[in-house]
Amino acid sequence: MNKISTLKKEIINVGRLLWDKELVAACSGNISLKIDNRNILITTHGSCLGMLGQEDIVKINLHAKAGAGKRVTMEKPVHAIIHKNFPQAAVVHAHPAFTTGYFTVRNNLSCLTFESKLLLGDVPVVRQNTATITNLNRVVAALKKSKIVVLKRHGVISIGDTLSEAFFRIQLLEDAVKVNLSARIFSQT
């Protein structure tokens, strides 16, 4: 198996994990993985991360304006700017329901567990006014403070040296939100 096929399998596996853990729904979210300083693999527009096939992941040049055959995700600009500005190889964009809902009405999260305080710290929130991420410079600035960023009323972006690292950070944030919500409910009973 060649390098590209191996990397595509990694993307497929993380897409399935995001789906299984309900961190994405339907055809939301996208994943990219740096091959080298010029090229990335990225999921296509309209692909379901829980049902990805090799054909749903395309190789694109970071510096080219056009995509590659099958339509590249509309979030290509944010993936490209992140890959150009950070050494991390993996970018995962997801739409975890509890995190998205929580940050729709709140601007920060009090991490209640030692693990979330240590591993997440203060998670930056970037205002989002459109269905496609347009505040690219704000996302980059926020990622310089934390390897995970909430896009208000939209979802999250996580970067990591590996796809697993980026995935785990999203999963941990979703768990931290659930702990926070359950603590609020239990404190009222």
- Convert the pLDDT of each residue in 123-179 to its tens digit: 999 998 888 888 899 999 999 999 999 999 999 999 999 999 999 999 999 999 999
As a whole number, mean pLDDT of residues 56-84 equals 84
**Predicted local distance difference test score (pLDDT) of residue 137:** 94
Per-residue burial over 102-123, b if 16 or more Cβ lie within 10 Å, else e, is bbeeeeebebeeeebeebbeeb
Q: Answer yes or no: is pLDDT of 39 > 90.
A: yes
pTM summary value: 0.93
The pLDDT value given to residue 33:
97
Interval 5-33 mean pLDDT: 97
Q: What number is the average pLDDT over the span 82-90?
A: 96
Strand order in the sheet with 148-151: 57-61, 39-43, 30-34, 90-94, 155-160, 148-151, 125-126
